[in-house]
A and B are shown apart, each in its own frame.
Chain A
Amino acid sequence: MIVQSALAGIVLAFNRVVIYYFALLNGVYVILFLISLFEVVRFVKRTFFSDYEQILRSDMTWPISVIVPAHNEARTIVETIRSLLNVNYGQFEVIVVNDGSTDDTLRRLIETFDLKRTDKIYRRTLPTGPVRALYGALEIPNLLVVDKERSGKADALNAGINVSRYPLYCSVDADSVIEENALLRVVKPFMEHPEEMVAVGGIVRIVNGCEVREGWVARIGLPRRPLPIFQVVEYLRAFLSGRIGWSTLRSLLIISGAFGLYRKSEVIAVGGYDRLSETEDLQLVLKLHESLRRKGRRYRIVFVPDPVCWTEVPTTFRVLARQRNRWHRGLLQSLWRHRKMILRPRYGVIGTLALPYFVVFETLGPFIEILGYVMVALSWFLGLLNTDFFLLFMIFAIFFGVFLSVAAVLLEEISFRRYPGWEHLAILVIVAVVENFGYRQILSLLKVKAFWDFLLRRGAWGRMEREGFRPAPPPEPRPTRS
C-alpha cells in the first residue's frame, strides 16, 4: 500500500513536471517561429537580385576555396564536383579530399576530370593524417584533389584547409549539390560585415526525389518513400524555424557540415576541426564561439536561408538510426566539452540561453518524452490514469506538433517556394500531421539510445548508403537555378 502510494506520488509529480516542461518547450518553439517569420519576411524584402550580379562582377569579392571531403562517394562525387565547378562565382577553387576511399571515388575523379599528379607545395598549418598525393588538371586549374589516408571527415577538412589558397573556405558534402548562385548568396554576409563575419551557414534541402542533371537539380520533387519525406518536413522545421531564430538571437550553434562558409584564419586560430569529434561541424562552431567570446571580439556567425544545398538523406531505418545516433552523440560530446560555457554570462546568449536550451530540451527532452509514455502505462496500471485528461493532452500535443510543422511549411510558402506544385504543398501538410504518429517518437528513442551509447563511449561514424542522385530524363526541362 505504501509502495503504491509512493509510486502514485512520483507519477503525479512527474506528470506535473511533464506539463511544465511541455509548456516551456513549446513556448520556446513558438518564440523561435515568430522570430523566424519576422526575419524571413525581412530577408525576402531586402533581397535584390542586382546585389548578386554585383557580387559576381566585383573584383573586390572574396575568392572562396570549396572543400569537399569524400569517403566512398563514387556514386555521387562526379555530379557534385561538376555542380561545384559550374557555380556562378568569380574566383574560386574546388578541393576534393579523398579520405582513403576504398571504392572508385578517386578513379572516377581522375578519369572524369583528366587529373594528373601534381607537385604543389603547401604549408601544413593544421596537423593531418598522411597525404598520399595531390592531383590537378591543366584544363581545370581551379580543381585540386588531395588523396590521403583514411582519418575521418574532420581530418580531411583540415587537409583541405592546408592546401587551400583563399581567405574563405566553404565546406560541402560529397553527396550534395549546391545551387548555381549558392556561393554568391552565402558570401553576401561577409561582404556586408567584413570585419565581424566568421561563418555563414546555408540551408540544406533534401535531394531524394529530385532529378539531377550534370550536377544541377533539374526538377524539384518530393521523395516517395516515407522516411525521406518525413525528413523533408523535419529539415524545413529545423532550418526555417530553428536556425533562423537562433541566428537572429546571435546564438547559432550549428552550421551544417553539408554547406557552410568560414573565415579560414579564424578556423586555423582555433586549431581547425576536431578529429575526435562525432559532429565536427557543431564542435567547430562551438570552438569559434568560445574562443571569440573569451577574446571579447565582436563577431557574427549567421544562418542565411536562401543559399541552397541539396543533400541525400537516409532512406532506410538502419542508416537513419546510425546517422541520428552519431548526431546525438556528437551533440552530447560537444556540450560536455564546452560545459564551462553553460550558464556563464561571459558567453552571452550562447551561454545563458542557447546551450541551456540544448541541454534541457535536446538532451533531456527525449528522456522525458519516453518516460512520459512509461508513466502513462504505470498510471494506468496503478489506476491513476485519467483517461479523458490523457487523451485531451495527447490531442493537444499532437495538434501543437502539427502546428509547428505546418508553420514551417508556411514559412517556405511565403518565402522561397522551392516546392512549386500544389501536390507538394498538400503532401507536406499531410506529412506534417502523419509524422507525429511514430516518426517523432522513433527519433526520441534513437536519441535515448545515443545517450546510452555516449555514456558507454560506444559508436562510430557508420556507413551512409548512397542511392546516388536520380538522373533527369531527356527531354530537358528548365534547370532550377536560384
Chain B
Amino acid sequence: MHEVLIALILGTGLLLAGLTMLIAGNKTSREVREALDRRRRSLLEPAVFQYAQATGHRSIHDYLPKPLSRRDRRLTERILLDAARIVKGEARDRVTAAFEALGSVRAAIQGLRSHRWWRRAEAAERLGLMRSRTAVDPLVAAMNDPEEEVRIRAARALGIVRGNTSIRPLVRALADPSRWSAIRVAEILISVGDEAVEELLLAYDGLPHHARVSVLDVLGRIRTLKAVPLMRRSLKDPHPDLRARAAHGLGRIGDPAFADDLLAALRDPEWPMRAMVAKALGRTQAKPAIPALCEALKDREWWVRANAGEALRALGPEGRDALIRMLDADDTYARHQAVAQLEEGRIIDEYVADLGSADPARREAAVRFVEKIIALRRVDRLTQQSIENTQEAVRSALAQILRRSPQEGS
C-alpha cells in the first residue's frame, strides 16, 4: 500500500510540475510571440498602408521586404484583415488584390476543406473580409457544411462578397433551425437590400414557418413596396407570429395607405398582434387610426395599451389631443396610460408652463388640464414641478391647485 501511495504522490507531483511548466511555458511562448509580432508589425504596417493608399498597378510584394518570411506573410495578412474592416472604395479593391497576390484567398479556400470545423469557420470569416469573387463558389458549397457555425459564416461572407449566385443560398439559409443563424442571415440579406427582394418573394411559399417570419422581417426592414402584397396577405395568415411580423413590416414601410388593413388587424384575438399593429399604425402616421388607437388604450394587455399610447404620441398634435381627451375615458387603464404618455412626451410640463402664461385662455386651459391629472391621482410629476419649476408664478399656481383639488378615489 505504501508503494502505491508513493507512486501516486510521485505521479501527482510530476503532473503538478508538468501543469506548472505548461502554464509558464504557454505564457512565455505567447508573450515572446506577441512581442516579436508587435515589433515586426510596426515595420510592416507602414508598407501595407502605403500600398493600400497608392494608385498605381504595383503589387503588394513590391512594398514588402524580400524574401517574405512566413511570419511576415502571416502578419501582413493580419494587417490587411484589420484594414479590410475599415477601408472603402479603391483602397478596398487594392486590399482584396493584395490578399490574392499573397495567396491568402487560396489558403482560406483550402481552409474551408479542413477537418476541424473551427478552421473552416475561420476560413469562411476571412474570405468574407477578403471579398474575393473567386471565393463565391467555395462559399456557396460551404453553405452545406454540417457545422452550423461554418454555414453561418459562409452565409455572412457571401453577403459581403455579393455575387448574384450568393443570394439564393442565403435565402435558403433562413430555414436554418437556429434563431441565431436566422438573425445573422437576415442581417446579411438586409445589407444586400433591394437585390435580395425578388429571391425572398419567390422563395416565401416554399419556406418553413420560422423562415417566413424572417423573410417578412427582412422585407420590412428593406422597406420595399414590392413586398406589400405579400404582407397584406400575411396579415390574414393563421399563424399569429406571421401576422404580427407582417404588421411590423407594413409599419416599417410606413405608408398611410396601409391604415385600413392595419385597422382591421387591430381587432386580432392575439394580443402580441394587436400590440404590433398599434405600433405599426403609429409609424404609418395614419390620422384616421386615432379613434381605433384610443380604443386600444383600453385593451387588457399592457403592451397593447403602451404601444397604442406611443402611437398616438407619434401622430403629432391630433394624437396628443386624443391622449388629452382620453383623460376623461371611462376606463381606468386607458386614463392612466394617457397620463403616462403625456408625461413621457413632456406634454404635462408644457401645460404646467402655461400656468405662468400671460394669456388668460391658455392659463385657464392649463388649470383644467392639471386638475384632470390630479383627479386621476397621477400627481408625482406635478408635485415635482411645483418644487422645481424655474418660474415662481408657476410653482405657486401649481401648489395652489394641488392643495385644493380632490383626487380620484379620495
Contacts and interface: CB of A to CB of B under 8 A. Distances in A.
B19 A191 contact: no
Contact of A389 (B2, B340, B343): B2
Interface string A129-170: 000000000100100000000000000000000000000000
Nearest to B333: A121
A118 interface: yes
A317 interface: no
A409 B23 contact: yes
A15 B381 CA distance: 72
Interface residues of A, number: 45
Contacts of B379: 119
A373 interface: no
B131 interface: no
Interface stretch (A44-52, A220-228, A293-301): A44-52
Given A123-B302, A388-B2, A389-B1, A192 B179 contact: yes
Interface in A320-349: none
Nearest to B16: A403
Interface stretch (A55-63, A91-99, A174-182, A441-449): A55-63
A354 interface: no
Contacts of B183: 54, 58, 60-61, 191
A188 interface: yes
A392 B7 CA distance: 10
Contacts of B20: 406, 429
A425 B23 contact: yes
A58 to B, nearest CB: 5
Interface in B268-324: 302
A407 B383 contact: no
Contact of B180 (A119, A141, A191, A410): A191
B186 interface: yes
B12 interface: yes
Interface stretch (A68-76, A260-268, A394-402): A394-402
Contact of B9 (A59, A120, A141, A396): A396
A399 B16 contact: yes
Contacts of A121: 333, 336-337, 340
B408 to A, nearest CB: 12
B26 interface: yes
Interface string A100-137: 00000000000000001111111100000000000000
A402 B13 CA distance: 10
B189 to A, nearest CB: 12
Nearest to B119: A45
Interface residues of B, number: 48
B164 interface: no
B121 interface: yes
Contacts of B12: 396, 399-400, 403
Contact of B16 (A60, A192, A392, A406): A406
Contacts of A117: 380, 383-384
B121 A48 contact: yes
A422 interface: yes
B179 A116 contact: no
A120 B305 CA distance: 13
Contact of A192 (B2, B8, B180, B336): B180
A422 B23 contact: no
A422 B31 CA distance: 10
- Chain B CB count within 10 A is highest, among A58, A388, A396, for A396
A425 B344 CA distance: 52
Interface string B350-373: 000000000000000000000000
Nearest to A393: B5
Interface in B187-230: 187, 217, 221
Interface in B14-36: 15-16, 19-20, 22-24, 26-27
B149 interface: yes
A410 B23 contact: yes
B339 interface: yes
A123 B186 CA distance: 35
A413 interface: yes
B6 interface: yes
A123 B302 CA distance: 8
B336 to A, nearest CB: 5
Interface of B: 1-2, 5-6, 8-9, 12-13, 15-16, 19-20, 22-24, 26-27, 118, 121-122, 125, 149, 153, 156, 178-180, 183-184, 186-187, 217, 221, 302, 333, 336-337, 339-340, 343-344, 346, 378-381, 383-384
Nearest first, the 9 closest Cβ-Cβ pairs linking A and B are A194-B179, A45-B118, A191-B180, A117-B380, A392-B5, A399-B12, A192-B180, A119-B378, A60-B183
24 contacts: A46-B149, A48-B121, A54-B183, A58-B187, A59-B221, A60-B186, A61-B183, A117-B380, A117-B384, A119-B336, A121-B340, A141-B344, A193-B179, A392-B2, A392-B6, A393-B5, A396-B8, A396-B9, A399-B16, A403-B19, A410-B22, A414-B26, A425-B27, A429-B23
Given A50-B156, A54-B187, A399-B13, 17 more contacts: A48-B122, A48-B125, A50-B125, A57-B187, A58-B187, A60-B217, A118-B343, A119-B380, A119-B381, A194-B178, A389-B1, A392-B6, A402-B16, A403-B12, A410-B23, A413-B26, A425-B27
